[in-house]
Amino acid sequence: MGQQDRFDSVAPHYDRVFERLERRIMRPWRSRVWAEVAGCNVLEVGVGTGFNAPYYTPALRVMAVDVSMRMLLRTRAKLAARGAPVPPLAQMDVQHLAFADGAFDCAVATLVFCGVPDPIRGLRELARVVKPGGRIVLLEHMRARSPWVARIMDVLNPLAWKIIGEDINRDTVANVRAAGLRVVKDEPLWANGIVRLIVAEHS
Ligand SMILES: C[S@@+](CC[C@H](N)C(=O)[O-])C[C@H]1O[C@@H](n2cnc3c(N)ncnc32)[C@H](O)[C@@H]1O
């Protein structure tokens, strides 16, 4: 099953499964992410069902994309039902973005790069569509720094990929650097750094 089909099938259940986690844990992390956004013209990739939308301030012009059309439809329906502004939405794979070079001041992705088949390619695409000097802000879970926890993650990873379509043992900070970006912030948020806030710029 490809990522698009996988996330299309997850979309109708996504909010129900993640709402409690969202309320209990995720919200302060999302505030941290959006506090790092600089400039007004922002691309959000892997928007999912729109959990970041409450953090879009009126000063921001957000364009949101996702590989899954069903996720985009959930975002649209959810925001419209709340009477919240619906940003422009487009079905797009972060590995092949249909935007011009330097089209955005900033890009944001939360919990996306664990599932992108070629994350370095996706990160290079973000670097291309963000203006020189612009920021790429990521919230990602990744391989633990503790060697024994990392080993357990490595062992469980094939199962995680099969069930949820995500790698649980990626080194996304290394991938950001491999994509030619400079990491200007790398902050552990949870479980000894398994969840991290990363801010990167053109090197
Ligand atoms: C775990 S969900 C996170 C959703 C949202 N960002 C959040 O924080 O709740 C991952 C999202 O990334 C999207 N995604 C996965 N691979 C993608 C790709 N190659 N290009 C664009 N979106 C992708 C999925 O469709 C899904 O909506």
pLDDT tens-digit profile, the chain (203 residues): 688 898 999 999 999 999 999 999 999 999 999 999 988 999 999 999 999 999 999 999 999 999 999 999 999 999 999 999 999 999 999 999 999 999 999 999 999 999 999 999 999 999 999 999 999 999 999 999 999 999 999 999 999 988 888 899 999 999 999 999 999 999 999 988 899 999 999 87
Instruction: Kindly give the distance from the C-alpha atom of residue 123 to the centroid of ligand 1, in angstroms, as a whole number.
Output: 14
Q: Give the residue, by CA position, lying nearest to ligand 1 atom 13.
A: 46
Q: Which amino acid is at 118?
A: D
Ligand 1 pocket residues where CB is under 6 Å? 3, 7, 45-48, 51, 66-68, 71, 93-95, 110-112, 115-116
- Number of the ligand 1 atom closest to the C-alpha atom of 117: 19
pLDDT value, residue 3:
81
Full-model pTM: 0.96
Q: Give the residue, by CA position, lying nearest to ligand 1 atom 9.
A: 51
Instruction: Kindly give the distance from the C-alpha atom of residue 115 to the centroid of ligand 1, in angstroms, as a whole number.
Output: 7
Nearest to 52 by CA among 79, 30, 75: 30
Instruction: Kindly give the distance from the C-alpha atom of residue 11 to the centroid of ligand 1, in angstroms, as a whole number.
Output: 10
pLDDT value, residue 202:
81
pLDDT value, residue 2:
81
Q: How many other CB atoms sit within 10 Å of the CB of residue 153?
A: 20
pLDDT value, residue 198:
98
> Hey, CA dihedral for 123, 124, 129, 131, is it positive or negative?
positive
Identify the CATH assignment for 3-202 out of 3.40.50.150, 3.40.640.10, 3.40.50.12780, 3.10.450.50.
3.40.50.150
pLDDT value, residue 164:
83
Please give the structure tokens belonging to residue 76.
Answer: 């649209």
* Residue ranges of domains in the chain: 3-202
pLDDT value, residue 162:
87
Nearest to 120 by CA among 15, 187, 200: 200
Instruction: Kindly give the distance from the C-alpha atom of residue 47 to the centroid of ligand 1, in angstroms, as a whole number.
Output: 6
- Number of the ligand 1 atom closest to the C-alpha atom of 4: 25
